[in-house]
Amino acid sequence: MKLRVGTRKSELALNQTYWVVEKLKKYYPDIEIEIHKLTTKGDEILDKTLSKIGGKALFLKEIQNALLAGDIDLAVHSMKDIPTETPSELEICAVTKRLDPRDVLITKDNNSTLDELQLGSFVGTSSLRRASQLKAYRKDLQITPVRGNINTRLEKLQNSDKLDGIVLAKAGLMRADLTDLIAQEIPEDVIVPCVGQGALGIEIKADNDKLREKLSVLNDENSRTAIYSERTFLNQLGGSCHVPVGGLGRLTEKGLELTGVVAELEGSKVLKETLIGSKDYPVDLGQELAYKLISQGAKEILDSVKNKG
């Protein structure tokens, strides 16, 4: 079997793809794999926040077009980058086992926590979700937009006198073997993670039944269930990275637990709820949580954020 795998050119994306390739070779020792490194608009435009240039879909469009054209057989994405609505001709056939989904703080002194940062400290992030929850936790923090790959953001932290810390996803640092830089793993009651954060999604053409079966070895059903519940929640709110929405699902002894948050940009109002339901009905749980927050005013918050954008 020969497969052509599409991925972004970034170091993190390539690390993720190499991990997938090694997994496949373990199950199919005779497999031949070609890695196609593709450049996306999201990788090229670094001077603007994602919410102002079209969102995380900018990291996928070129890769999805390559799939549709038959230039590649499958694509490896971060689940957090995949819009809740994708072309009907494509599908996410597998979701890998999720790494730690939490956000983390990295500081210049490699030691300070959010509570220990000095009054008025500058914290870098281009995520509206992170920014709004940070402001809700500490209104004095100065949020500074920072984009680029992990190394670029780390360099900006060290070289800018307008940055005291940056917030990144722990999973990305784990894949890059940079967890020693973490000053604090931010609790989920302070920042609810991004929907899908920590897992990889394998995308193929929806009519490729044979390949879907082969790639099922990469799927972790618990991670898939939790993340599909999160994605339903986000989709029901009409959300993307344009809006400050977080969601985290996990399987517990009580069932599927789903936490969702919607926050105003300055953190002045935060809607957060947790529901528990059956793991057999993740979509229903995601919808129920969305409706609950909508009844509390989530739509009004999101409409306000979109109007400001």
The one catalytic residue in 43, 71, 73, 81 is 81
* 109: CB partners within 8 A, 6+ apart: 183
For residues 168 and 59, the answer to whether their CB atoms sit within 8 Å is no
Concerning whether 81 is annotated as a catalytic residue, the answer is yes
User: Which amino acid belongs to residue 127?
Assistant: S
* Interatomic CA distance for residues 22 and 11, integer angstroms: 16
The catalytic site residues sit at: 81
